Amino acid sequence: MENKRSVSTLIPYFIKDGEVRVFLQKRSKDAEYRPDQFGLFGGGIEAGETREQALVREIKEELSIEAKNYEFIGQYESDRIVNNVFVMEVGENFENEVCVNEGQYGRFFTEKEIMDEPALTDFHRKRVSDLYDKIKKNKAESV
C-alpha cells in the first residue's frame, strides 16, 4: 500500500434565504496540484498533529482567522490523499473578514454554481455536495 498524504480542509458556509453558500479557494495558476482549480482551504497534517490541530494551523495560515465551532463531516480518499473535511458556519460578510494568503482568491458559491463550475474537480464537488446533504438533513430533523 502506498503512503497517502493526510490533510485537513475546511468548507466555510452561510445560509441566506434558505440557500447554502460555500466559500472555496481559487488555486494559484502555478500550484503543483490542481492549478487554477477551485478547492478547499487547508493542507497537510504534520507529524504529531491531530487533524483538528492541522485544520486550525492551516486556516490561520491561509485565511488569517482562528477556526472555531467547526464540525467534522467526513474523511475522503483519492489516489493521492486522505482528506479530513470540516465545515464551519460563518457570517455573510466572511469574504471581507478574511485575508486569502494562498491561491488567487476565495469566493462564495451557491449549490447550482458548484454543480456547474468547470474549474472544480469531482473530488471536491463530492465534498461540497455532502455538506449540502448534511445541512438539508439537519433542517428536516429540526422541523
Tens of pLDDT, residue by residue over 95-107, are 999 999 999 999 9
Report CA-CA distances (Å) from 21 to 2, 38, 49, 107.
36, 14, 30, 9
Residue-range definition of the domain harbouring residue 68: 5-138
Neighbour-count burial of 63, counting CB atoms closer than 10 A to its CB (0-12 exposed, 13-18 middle, 19+ buried): buried
Query: Per the domain annotation, does 34 fall within a domain?
Result: yes
Q: Structural domain tally of the chain?
A: 1
- Are 26 and 104 within 8 A, CB to CB? yes
One digit per residue, pLDDT tens: the chain, 143 residues? 468 999 999 999 999 988 899 999 999 898 887 889 999 999 999 999 999 999 999 999 999 999 999 999 889 888 888 999 999 999 999 999 999 999 999 999 998 999 899 999 887 888 888 888 887 777 667 65
Query: Per the domain annotation, does 143 fall within a domain?
Result: no
pTM, full prediction: 0.89
Written as nine digits, the cell of 44 is 497537510
